[in-house]
Amino acid sequence: MSVTSSSAALIQARRDLFNRWHTVEQAWKDERSRVFARDYLDPIDPAIAKANDAITEISAAIDRAMRECE
């Protein structure tokens, strides 16, 4: 899997997760669901942003290394 496709897969997985959560959330509307969302879902977006930043840096490093090896 390429670095770019890894980033796209991560973004798609996040989209799928939150689409499924939206479905679950329609039936599960209590304090535990709010705690679950706060503890497990809310931290996902910042983590994905950091991961994508790292993926971008890795991709740039790979590109530089490939150019230097030519």
pLDDT in tens, 44-64: 999 999 999 999 999 899 999
pLDDT in tens, 17-40: 999 999 999 999 999 999 999 999
pLDDT in tens, 7-22: 899 999 999 999 999 9
Whether 7 contacts 52, CB under 8 Å: yes
Stated length of the chain: 70
Phi-psi region of 30 (alpha: psi -120 to 50; beta: other; left: phi over 0): beta
User: How far apart, in Å, are the Cα atoms of 23 and each of 13, 34, 35, 53?
Assistant: 16, 14, 17, 29
> Quick one: CA dihedral 53, 9, 35, 42, positive or negative?
positive
